[in-house]
Amino acid sequence: MVESVYPRLEPLLPQVTKPVQYVGGELNSVVKDWESADVRWALMYPDAYEVGLPNQGLQILYEVLNGRDGVLAERTYSVWPDLEKLMRSHGIPQFTVDSHRPVAAFDVMGVSFATELGYTNLLTALDLAGIPLAAADRADSHPLVLAGGHAAFNPEPIAEFLDGAVLGDGEQAVLTITDLVREWKAAGRPGGRDGLLLRLAADGGVYVPRFYDVTYLADGRIGSVRPNRPGVPGSVAKHTLMDLDDWAYPRQPLVPVAETIHERYSVEIFRGCTRGCRFCQAGMITRPVRERSKATIAGMVETGLQASGFSEVGLLSLSSSDHSEIHEIARELADRHEDTQTGLSLPSTRVDSFNVTLADELTRGGRRSGLTFAPEGGSDRIRKVINKMVTEEDLIRTVTTAYASGWRQVKLYFMCGLPTETDEDVLAIAPLARRVIKAGREATGRRDIRATVSIGGFVPKPHTPFQWAAQCDAATVDARLHALGAALRSEPGYGRAIGFRYHQGEPSIIEGLLSRGDRRVAAIIRAAWADGARFDGWSEYFSFERWARASQTALAAEPVDLDWYTTRERDYEEVLPWDHLDAGLDRDWLWQDWQDSVAADGTAEVDDCRWTPCYECGVCPAMGTEIQTGPMGPPGSRQLPLVAVGSGAGRAARELA
């Protein structure tokens, strides 16, 4: 019998901030009888409820698992330090919000990592749950701790704490894992914990770090990563869901009572992206492109709104206006929901002048407050380096159209510290922003035109062409951001029209450490956590000094240090910590793309294989598939991403402005 901790938790709740986040009971949440299931999952998002609840990945898996007989899934989120302290003093374990059961009572604890900055929160949850931090110390009775999400494509820094990692799409993978766990339990747990993990590694497509030995060279680089027993693949491939129309989730979206960062019904209109932006890990690891059909999307929106009462619909993907039928989708949804006070938004949408029309369609009759464009780099030269093929003229044309059709504010997103970047590339943002304002004033004849420049440090990520790149040091990033701020303020007549938001360089360095680290980084994470690291994605909790201190202590006996992991360029020969994990991308293609990006005689452009012939990234042959798009041709070539302002207001609190 697994009892609810709620009677013990309830008296503590009046003492903590926003207690409603811990009580569950959301519309469409599911509470199953404990005894009705033989496989039980605790699904965790390792951040605060307000960030974790809207997460699509977790909601989809929750619904997929609970949709099966004999399977039960509940959710758990990171508790804020005020409650953590009270839980420790009252002996209350990490609990699920659905029925407040202790996480340690479940068979599997599945943790979704959208970002590496959630690693310390994993340790807090394990510790509060009473689950040993190191996977090697766990008994058969402890839950399997599995990681998923984009950060799981290099789980090596947290390998010590994980029983396994699942790369790629989770919908089918969790069901395969469920079947293997069920069979193992029914058979009397043959081989104990290792016996189960061996089955998962052999038949479940699960990466089990302990079945691989890592050796190091004298200089600190990795010598080799090899399986240490038979029956384990030398390379672990990602999971790819091929027909998204067969998996039209979420159908019963969770409706939080507490306020969260996204209050809307979200439908993923396609998965994958082939734009080829060299910095973008999501675009690389989620290939190939798989679209949902117009009919499925319309049906999901209809039932999702009915089931939730939400008044906003988000059409999600990495580049939403790239859907081959986006204009029909937008028009039909706008028609269908006209006069119902339903808002439609396209976060992460590339927009050229043509696609501002799309944004206009989505905001029919409503207020046009702001559009967000992401040129990412300040100069034409640096945008070529990152393969963001947008010229300054494209951008000016696009914002002119946007201002002319009633949008009053644009946000411009940039990165600082890109490969080959100079001070001039960053300072070029200032005259660009002024041209944007000027274009808006000319197009509208008004003075109340606003633009906001938002910029943060670039972090090289695994499985991208920039995985070999040296990360720019924090001092250089900060100096460039400081100079840019001064340049933006210097021009009379523009100063007040241009807002400036930036993220300092130091947090990016730690994100870089956790992104491209190897198994030795686990000791740093453990030391930082023991020293109090929590909620590292939140500026009010993050401490660079703490991480620097932890790096020094943990790496004292190693030939490597924090700089070695971050600001050091890697060469072709070096074994990267994630080379045995297969995102489907051809390593030589990535290397050639990296070389092309920094070529002295000018950067080579990579086209989008949606509209032009294949550029051999390797994904389609590896997956035995090809890109799946609808009936239409390209909507125009050079486009910019766009996000409607207003989504994710809660995120603002996290920005290190």
Binders in 348-377 for other proteins, by CB under 8 A: 365-367
Q: Give the rounded distance of the alpha carbon of 34 from its chain centre.
A: 32
Q: Which is nearer to other proteins, 224 or 306 (CB)?
A: 306
Using the rule CB under 8 A, is 456 a contact of other proteins?
Answer: no
Residue type, 636: G
* Number of residues that this document lists for the chain: 657
Pairing of β 343-345 and β 498-502: unpaired
Closer residue to other proteins, CB minimum distance, 89 or 341: 341
User: Closest distance between other proteins and the C-beta of residue 19, in Å?
Assistant: 4
Integer Cα distance of 403 and 368 in angstroms: 10
Coil, helix or strand for 358? Answer: helix
Q: Does 231 bind other proteins (CB under 8 A)?
A: no
Cβ atoms of residues 608 and 568 within 8 Å: no
The nearest distance, CB 354 to other proteins, in angstroms, is: 24
Spatial contact of 152 and 111, defined as CB atoms under 8 Å apart = no
20 versus 614: smaller Cβ distance to other proteins:
20
Our finding on whether 89 is near other proteins (CB under 8 A) is no
Using alpha carbons, list the distances in angstroms from residue 452 to 411, 492, 497: 5, 17, 8
Report the nearest approach of other proteins to the CB of residue 652 (Å).
18
* Amino acid at site 463: H
Q: Which residue, chain included where needed, has tokens 């004033």?
A: 441
Distance CA 515, CA 517 (A): 6
Strands, E assignment, 400-528: 409-416, 450-457, 498-502
Among 191, 234, 309, 493, binds other proteins (CB under 8 A): 309
DSSP 412: E
Least Cβ distance, residue 253 to other proteins (angstroms): 11
| Chosen residue from 202, 242, 258, 282 binding other proteins by CB under 8 A | 258
Q: Which is nearer to other proteins, 3 or 423 (CB)?
A: 3
Q: How far apart are CA 315 and CA 269, in angstroms?
A: 6
Q: Cβ closer to other proteins: 96 or 639? A: 96
Shortest distance, CB of residue 285 to other proteins, whole angstroms? 35
Interface pick for other proteins out of 263, 394, 536, 596 (rule CB under 8 A) = 263
Sign, CA dihedral 287-293-298-302, equals negative
Binding window for other proteins (CB under 8 A); candidates: 54-62, 309-317, 521-529, 599-607: 309-317
354-358 contacts at long range (C-beta below 8 A, 24 or more positions apart): 354/635, 354/636, 355/321, 355/635, 355/636, 355/639, 355/642, 356/398, 356/401, 356/402, 356/405, 356/407, 357/405, 358/321, 358/326, 358/327, 358/330
Region from 6-14, 271-279, 381-389, 409-417 binding other proteins, contact rule CB under 8 A: 6-14
Q: 109 or 305, CB closer to other proteins?
A: 305
Task: DSSP letter for 136, please.
Answer: G
Q: CB of residue 234 vs other proteins: minimum separation in angstroms?
A: 50
Distance between CA atoms of 252 and 100, rounded to whole angstroms? 21
Task: Using CB under 8 A, pick the residue from 183, 194, 245, 259 that binds other proteins.
Answer: 259
Q: Which is nearer to other proteins, 88 or 367 (CB)?
A: 367
- Confirm or reject binding of residue 492 to other proteins (CB under 8 A): no
Q: Minimum CB separation from other proteins for residue 604, in Å?
A: 47
Tell me the three state secondary structure of residue 370: strand
Considering only residues 194 through 223, tell me which ones interact with other proteins, judged by CB under 8 A. none
Cα–Cα distance for residue pair 439/447, rounded to 1 Å: 11
Determine if 406 is a binding residue for other proteins (CB under 8 A).
Answer: no
Residue 446 lies near other proteins (rule: CB under 8 A): no
Binding mask 321-340 for other proteins (x = CB under 8 A): ------------------x-
Q: Dig out the tokens for 369 from the structure.
A: 């407050």
The single residue among 4, 306, 422, 490 that binds other proteins, judged by CB under 8 A, is 306
Tell me whether strands 71-77 and 290-291 are parallel, antiparallel or unpaired.
unpaired
- Name the token pair of 76: 């758990």
Closest approach, Cβ 83 to other proteins, in A, equals: 12
Smaller CB distance to other proteins: residue 87 or 180?
87
Q: Residue 341 Cβ, how far from other proteins at the closest point, in Å?
A: 6
* Contact (CB, 8 A) for 484 and 429: yes
Q: Is 649 in the site for other proteins (CB under 8 A)?
A: no
* Cβ distance to other proteins smaller for residue 18 or 138: 18
Residue 255 within binding range of other proteins, rule CB under 8 A: yes
Shortest reach from residue 13's CB to other proteins, in Å: 6
Nearest distance, CB of residue 632 and other proteins, angstroms? 31
Per-residue three-class SS string for 307-328:
HHCCCEEEEECCCHHHCCCHHH
Q: Which position among 99, 266, 308, 597 is part of the footprint of other proteins (CB under 8 A)?
A: 308
The Cα–Cα gap between 97 and 365 comes to 40
**Minimum CB distance to other proteins smaller for 22 or for 373:** 22
Closest of 436, 432, 426 to residue 472, by C-alpha:
426
Instruction: Determine, following the binding rule CB under 8 A, whether residue 86 of this chain makes contact with other proteins.
Output: no
Q: Which residue, 80 or 119, is less far from other proteins as judged by CB?
A: 80
Residue 157 or residue 256: which is nearer to other proteins going by CB? 256
**Contact mark string toward other proteins, 9..38, x via CB under 8 A:** --x-xxx--xxx-xxxxxx-----------
Q: Which is nearer to other proteins, 26 or 38 (CB)?
A: 26
CB of 587 within 8 A of CB of 235? no
CA torsion, ordered 334, 337, 338, 341, to nearest 10 deg = -120
The residue (of 13 and 620) whose beta carbon lies closer to other proteins is 13
Binding residue count for other proteins, defined by CB under 8 A: 31
Is residue 124 near other proteins by the rule CB under 8 A?
A: no
The stretch among 80-88, 250-258, 393-401, 550-558 that binds other proteins (CB under 8 A) is 250-258
Please report, in angstroms and rounded to a whole number, the separation of the first and last CA atoms in the chain. Answer: 49
For 217-281, where are the E strands, in sequence order?
A: 222-227, 236-237, 265-268, 270-271
Q: What are phi and psi of 78, to 5 degrees?
A: -70, 135
Alpha-carbon distance of 12 to 6, in angstroms, equals 10
Question: For other proteins, which residue of 202, 232, 242, 307 counts as binding (CB under 8 A)?
Answer: 307
Beta-bridge partner residues of 642: 349, 373
54 binds other proteins (CB under 8 A): no
* Choice from 310, 407, 494, 535 touching other proteins (CB under 8 A): 310
> Are the CB atoms for 5 and 101 separated by under 8 Å?
yes
Closest contact distance (angstroms) between CB of 326 and other proteins is 24
Query: With respect to other proteins, which residue has the nearer C-beta, 255 or 298?
Result: 255
Q: Contact positions toward other proteins, by CB under 8 A?
A: 6, 11, 13-15, 18-20, 22-27, 255, 257-259, 263, 305-311, 339, 341, 365-367
